[in-house]
Structure 1
Amino acid sequence: MKKTALILVVLLAAHWAWAQSGPQYRRYNIMNKNLVSTVFTNGGVIGHPVGKGPRGAWLNDNDGYLGDVSPFVGCEIPYRVSADSIFYFHSVTYCLADHRPNRQDGIDYGVFWGFEPKAGYFNESKEGPAVALYTDPTTWPQQWPDRLNDVNDPGWKGQWNGYFGKGLSNATEETYFAMDDNEDKEFNEPEYNIWNVAFHPDSTNEARNGMGLEMKVRGLQWKQFLAQDCIFWLYEITNEGTTNYEKAIFGMLVGTYVGVTGANDSPQE
C-alpha cells in the first residue's frame, strides 16, 4: 500500500525503478542565496562532505554551525513466520555522513546500509557540484523521472521541477533530489540479522530491499527579510512497497558546531 508523508524542517542559522539508486549517484552542492550557506549531499546530509563548502554558515562562510544534519525513518515491521504467527521487529534507515562510514553490521559486506541517492534527478555527466539547483540549469537532468507520466509534457524536459510548479520557483534558490533505502539489506537476508528474517517489503518485487521507502527532498531559500536567515527543507516519504506499517517515526540527526570551517572537522573547533 503506497502512502506518502510530507515533513517540513526549517534550518535556522544563529518513474525510475528502485534499482536506479546507489553510492555511484552520490553528489553534493551548495546553497548560498541568502545569509545562510551550506554544503549538502543528495544522500540527505546537510553540512557534508567536509572540505567541499560552508557548513551551515551565517554571514561568513568560515563561521559554520553544523557538524551534520540528516533524516532517519524507523518502522515496526510485521514478518509472517507462519500462517497464524507474525513476528514484529524494528528497523531504522538513516543517511551516510563522512564520519559514519558504515554500520558496524554492514562493514563486512563492503556497503552502507541506508538511504542512497536515486539516479535521474541531476545531470549525471556534470563534474563537481552536481545536485540539481534551480539557478543552475547545467545541474538539471534531461528529464525528471517523477514527471514522465505527464501526458502533455513527459519528463518536463528543460524545465525546473519546482515545488510551485513546472518551470517555477517562488524561492530565490531551490534544490530537489530523491533517495531510497534499497541498499539497506540488514533484514532482507537472514545471514545479515540476529533474527534470521528474510523480509521483503514488496510482494510484487522480491528483489526490492530495505523497507521499500523513497524519500524526496527539497531545500528552499528566500532573500526576503523575514526568511533570509533560514533554509527550509521538505521531506516527502513514500512507502513504495506492499507492506503496511502501522507504526513509523521520522526524525533528524543533528550535530552542531560553533565556528566550524568548511575544510576542517577537528574536535578543537
Structure 2
Amino acid sequence: MGMFKLKFYSSLLILFLTANASAQVLDYTPSDFRGDQNYRRFSNIEGNNIRATIFNSGYSGNPNGQANYFSYEWPKNTGRIYIALISFWASGEVVDNSGKTIHLVEMPVYKSDPSGNTWNFEPVRGFINPQQQEIARSDNKNSWPQDYQGGWRNKRTDANDPGWPGSWNGYFGKNIFNADQEFYFVTSDDKYKRYPYTPDTTDLTRGGLGYIVDVRTMA
C-alpha cells in the first residue's frame, strides 16, 4: 500500500477537501516528507474582512481561549464570532500488522503517547522560513522558504527554477495572487504510532494512515 496525498483548502469560511489516492505502481518511491513539531507556527488571517488564527498542523480558530488567538470573526474587529474552531480529522478501518482489524482516528492537536511524544499531524519542513514565527503567507515574503533552504521543498525538481526561491508557491500558480491573503503549509500524520500498523509497506518507518496533506487558506 502506498501513501495518500490530500489537498485541503479553506476559502473564506468554506472548506473543500479533495483526496487523490493513487494505486501502487512499480516505480513508486516513498516520500521523505515527515512531520516535525519544531516547525509549528500560527498566523492570523485578516483578509476580506475576516479574522481567524491558523495553525500549521491542521486546525484554525481559538482552541483554548488565548488572547493572541482568534476564532472566526466577521467583520473583523467587531467581536462577532461565527465559528470557534475548525479542524480536520482522519480515520480509517485498517488491518494491523498482526492481522487484526482496528480503527484509527487522528487529529492535528491534543494527542500524545504517555511519554509526551506527539501523535498529532505535524508540519513538514521546507514550507516556512524557520527564522520567522509565521506560516508562509502570500503577503509576507519573509515568511517564505529562503534561498539557503533550497526554496520550496515541493518545487526543488523544477528544471527552470529549482525551489522557486523568492517566488510565491500559490494555488493558482507561481507568483499569482488572486486572494487578499493566501496561506500554505504541508502536514503529515507519520508521528501517529499508537498501534502496530504500517500504512506504507515500502516504508516501514512511517506511522499513521499514510497521509501527507497540502493546506491552503484564502481570504
Q: TM-score range by the shorter chain?
A: 0.7 to 0.9
Q: Secondary structure at the match of 1:138?
A: helix
Distance in 2 between residues matched to 1:34 and 1:208, nearest whole Å: 39
Is the CA contact (8 Å cut-off) linking 1:18 and 1:208 kept in structure 2? no
Provide the secondary structure at the position in 2 that maps to 1:155. Answer: coil
- 1:133 matched to 2:137? The reply is yes
Give the whole-Å Cα distance in 1 for the aligned partners of 2:83 and 2:58: 14
Conserved? CA contact 2:97–2:198, under 8 Å = no
1:57 and 2:77 correspond: no
Matched to 1:79, the amino acid is D
Instruction: Give 1:67 shift.
Output: 2.6
CA distance in 1, matches of 2:44, 2:168: 18
The corresponding residue for 1:247 is none
Bigger strand share = 1
Q: Tell me if 1:146 matches 2:144.
A: no
Structure 2: runs of 5+ lacking an equivalent: 15-29
User: % of aligned pairs identical?
Assistant: 29
1:30-41 maps to which residues of 2 (within 5 A)?
30-41=44-55
The structure 2 residue matched to 1:208, chosen from 175, 192, 206, is 206
- Whether the 8 Å contact between 1:16 and 1:145 is mirrored in structure 2 is no
The match for 1:168 is: 176
CA contact (8 A) 1:31 1:38 kept: yes
TM-score (norm 1): 0.66
Can you list the C-alpha shifts for 1:140-196, whole angstroms capped at 9, x where unaligned? 012111111111111111100000111112111100001101111111xxxxxxxxx
Partner of residue 112, structure 1: 118
Amino acid at match of 2:194: E
* Alignment match, 2:90: 73
Length, aligned pairs only: 196
Identify if the C-alpha distance between structure 1 residues 160 and 54 changes in structure 2 by more than 3 Å, giving closer, same or farther.
same
2: CA distance, partners of 1:92 / 1:109? 20
Q: Secondary structure at the match of 2:88?
A: strand
Distance in structure 2 (CA, Å) of the matches to 1:88 and 1:162: 40
Q: Is 1:220 paired with 2:213?
A: no
**Aligned-partner residue type, residue 203 of structure 1:** T
| Rg larger in structure | 1
What residue number does 1:18 align with?
33
- Of structures 1 and 2, the one scoring higher in RCO (CA 8 A, sep 6+) is 1
Tell me the CA shift for residue 5 of structure 1.
4.4
3-state DSSP class of the match of 1:34? helix
TM-score normalised by length of structure 2: 0.80
CA RMSD of aligned residues (A): 2.3
1:207-253 Cα deviation digits (max 9, x unpaired): 111122111100111xxxxxxxxxxxxxxxxxxxxxxxxxxxxxxxx
- Segments of 4+ moved more than 6 angstroms: none
